[in-house]
Structure 1
Amino acid sequence: MTRQLFGLLTLFGLAVLIGSAWADELVGRVVGIADGDTITILTPDYRKERVRLSGIDA
């Protein structure tokens, strides 16, 4: 039982680390909300970017 729990926790930890490796930072001001998890931002160089928030329940 302990080995299975350790293996499961290790697998979960690796999945979290791999998922955050693809995260990107985007700076801007929110100018619109499409739905619960999608927003539109205006970047400092005045481009509109649609952003989908991952990992939220909205």
Structure 2
Amino acid sequence: MLLRWAIAFLIIALIAAFFGFGGIAASAAGIAKILFFVFLIIFAITLVASLMQGRSI
């Protein structure tokens, strides 16, 4: 879900930059960057948690 929002804000930033709205493009790119890093942190935490849990036979 967070990755979809990050991609959406990235697309908004690209479109805004194309039409010359520098402030909106910078804001949308900043939000996309923050959401992407939050996604990576949550992904890493869940990956480590699932590896620590192991498989039950």
The TM-score bracket by the shorter chain reads 0.3 to 0.5
Q: Which structure has more strand as a fraction of its residues?
A: 1
TM-score (normalizing by structure 1):
0.41
Q: Highest Rg: 1 or 2?
A: 1
